[in-house]
Structure 1
Amino acid sequence: PKPKAEKKPEAEEEEEEAPQPKPKSKLDLLPKPKMILDEWKRFYSNNDTKPTAMNWLWEHFDDEGYSFWKVEYKYNDELTKCFMTNNLISGFFNRLERARKYAFGNLLTLGEDDNNMIWGYFIVRGLEVPEEVTDAADYESFSWTHADYKDPKTRAEIEDCFAWEGPTLPRVCYDGKTFK
């Protein structure tokens, strides 16, 4: 006859671990800013850039909660076709997804085929470039320089960059992308 099957001890009930809360960004721990970035993004999207949106930005910008950064691609001499340069910007923006809540910017493809560059400005939460940006795979391919928006020349560059046209752009704007 068959040996009796041993009774299997009932598996100890494993304690269900409560799902860990998503780690908060260091940026969420900063004091509440006076300017709400999403309000700026909506205003920028729904109004003419110059003068309407830019006037709103200068009136509401909170330099204790946000900072401006000039962003330039380090390897412009390797860029060829403008549409490929614009695709490179799109890929970079895809990798910046974690920063969407904390950043806004425009990167422009300036120039023409076989003589173009990537140039632009970003607004980021906080006074440093946050890890949500620095963790992006190709962050190191760009130089990020703190920009003094109170300087008239810098302010004019920011306005022209966000409008994708104007006399302060280093070259004619072929196309660009807005990160919002």
Structure 2
Amino acid sequence: MNKVGGFLQRMDLCRKYAFGKMLVVGSEPPFKVKGLWLFRGPEIPKFVMDEVYDMELYEWTKVDLSDEAQKERVNAMIEDQEPFEGEALLDAKCFK
């Protein structure tokens, strides 16, 4: 959970350009970190990729808004639905 807090602190430089939701899920270690990030524009800003060194530790996938399953997953993340994808929700943090 400290991993998520530190990541959000490093993301502070893009506060004007992003909204994020990070979830820590699982019932026992190792816990999984899942997130949703919305950036201004079609791509992750280059300065974020350059400055936030742990961006590359996560797998980034662009959401296909025409896919109903992906839209439901996005809604579940924003709403902190528990269980999330069948796993216990331990913590949720919002970056705005």
TM class by shorter-chain length?
0.7 to 0.9
Gaps of 5+ in 1: 1-85
TM-score by length of 2: 0.88
Can you list the C-alpha shifts for 1:50-74, whole angstroms capped at 9, x where unaligned?
A: xxxxxxxxxxxxxxxxxxxxxxxxx
C-alpha distance in 1 between matches for 2:27 and 2:84: 17
Instruction: Name which one, 1 or 2, has greater alpha-carbon Rg.
Output: 1
Gaps of 5+ in 2: none
Are 2:23 and 1:99 equivalent residues in the alignment?
no
C-alpha distance in 1 between matches for 2:23 and 2:90: 8
CA, structure 1 residues 89+168, in 2 after alignment: closer, same or farther (shift >3 Å)?
A: closer
User: Does 1 or 2 have the higher relative contact order (CA < 8 Å, sep 6+)?
Assistant: 2
Q: What amino acid is aligned across from residue 94 of structure 2 in structure 1?
A: T
Are 2:38 and 1:113 equivalent residues in the alignment?
no
C-alpha distance in 2 between matches for 1:111 and 1:143: 18
TM-score by length of 1: 0.49
Following TM superposition, by how much is the alpha carbon of 1:162 offset from its aligned partner in structure 2, in angstroms? 0.7
Following TM superposition, by how much is the alpha carbon of 1:163 offset from its aligned partner in structure 2, in angstroms? 1.0
The root-mean-square deviation of aligned C-alpha atoms, in Å, is 1.6
Count the aligned residue pairs.
95
Given candidates 130, 142, 145, the residue that maps to 2:58 is 142
Q: Secondary structure at the match of 2:59?
A: strand
